[in-house]
Amino acid sequence: MDNLTISAIQPELDRFIANALIEDVGDGDHSSLASIPDKAIGKANLYVKEDGIIAGIDIAEYIFHKMDPDIKFNVLIKDGSLVNIGEVAFSIEGRVQTILMLERLVLNIMQRMSGIATRTHKMVDLIKDLHTRLIDTRKTTPGMRFLEKIAVRIGGGYNHRAGLYDMIMLKDNHVDGAGGIVKAIEATHKYLKEKGLDLKVEIETRNLDEVKTVLATGGVDRIMLDNFDIETLNKALALIDHKYETEASGGITEENLRDYALTGVDFISSSAMAHSVKSLDLSLKLVKN
């Protein structure tokens, strides 16, 4: 991540940090305040305890500098790099009380982001030579979505919509609630016109008949093909014939990811990159004099 990206997320990141400190620090880190002299200066290293892809170093640097501009932060390994057990990703020097107060917050962020980046990298690597792009979903940790989506990008994946506000996605419940595909699409375009909104429209289909209905109706940018097996997906793609962007979703695992990508579908969406992913083991330790 570069400074431009930090600038783009700064308001959201600042709110996240403020809430996290309220949750974790409250009226003070009394353990550190009680045992560590106020002016004590120390050094700490971020140790890698598990092989993977490192993510969140730029976030960690921003947090430490936001809380104490005098802290010295030395980046040794950049975000997105492959790391191995025993390596030091960054070193930090400054007030020990500050380092210890922020230790868990930084570790929670970096371990989660690195776990997501590692899983994403593994999945992307399976289809890196193919046309298909791997994209994430909204199945994320509340309050951490923006960080988790950054981690997906660090791992080599792509982001789907950020939330409910930046894209129209007509899923099965929307279609059924509207009274069918045609009514859902017509109502959507009426709404967008009335509100003066310019949003892309994606619609979920559950079978080939629904694909045919969407093609006859038009008015969308992307067709999601949900829980299609490989054979049916190929038939759907032949019907669509590149007239719209296509996305496969549902029932796609690391084991069959490449088979789905070989169909030539434009996107495969997966919650596996962020949902229930294992955090990467990292440790922040003071260096003894």
Q: What is the CATH number of the domain that holds 245?
A: 3.20.20.70
Confidence band of 275 (pLDDT split at 50, 70, 90)? confident
Answer yes or no: do 163 and 242 share one domain: yes
Q: Which two tokens stand for residue 3?
A: 């400074």
Q: Which two tokens stand for residue 107?
A: 């570790």
What CA–CA distance (Å, rounded) separates 267 from 278? 24
Number of domains in the chain: 2
Strands 88-95 and 72-75: antiparallel
Confidence band of 196 (pLDDT split at 50, 70, 90)? very high
Entry pTM:
0.94
Domain that holds residue 191: 158-269
Of the chain, the percentage scoring pLDDT greater than 90 comes to 94
**Amino acid letter, 17:** I
Answer yes or no: do 196 and 245 share one domain: yes
147 within domain boundaries:
no
Q: What is the mean pLDDT of the chain?
A: 96
Answer yes or no: do 167 and 261 share one domain: yes
128 within domain boundaries:
no
What are the strands, taking DSSP E only, across the chain? 41-48, 52-53, 72-75, 82-83, 88-95, 133-135, 168-170, 201-205, 222-226, 245-249, 267-269, 282-286
What one-character DSSP code corresponds to residue 129? T
CB contact at 8 A, 235 and 220: no
Confidence band of 192 (pLDDT split at 50, 70, 90)? very high
User: What is the CB neighbour count within 10 angstroms for residue 31?
Assistant: 11
204 DSSP β-pair partners: 224
CB contact at 8 A, 117 and 147: no
What CA–CA distance (Å, rounded) separates 274 from 270? 9
Confidence band of 1 (pLDDT split at 50, 70, 90)? low
128-184 pLDDT, tens digit per residue, is: 999 999 999 999 999 999 999 999 999 999 999 999 999 999 999 999 999 999 999
Task: Give the pLDDT mean for 77-99.
Answer: 98
Answer yes or no: do 37 and 86 share one domain: yes
CATH of the domain at 79: 3.90.1170.20
Catalytic residues: 104, 139, 171, 204, 226
Strands 282-286 and 41-48: antiparallel
pLDDT at 5: 75
User: What is the CB neighbour count within 10 angstroms for residue 23?
Assistant: 10
Answer yes or no: do 238 and 282 share one domain: no
- Helix (H) / strand (E) element for 288: namely none
pLDDT at 288: 86
**Amino acid letter, 54:** I
* Residue keyed to tokens 């792509």: 158
Q: Which two tokens stand for residue 217?
A: 């109706």
Confidence band of 52 (pLDDT split at 50, 70, 90)? very high
What CA–CA distance (Å, rounded) separates 248 from 225? 5
pLDDT at 2: 52
Confidence band of 4 (pLDDT split at 50, 70, 90)? low
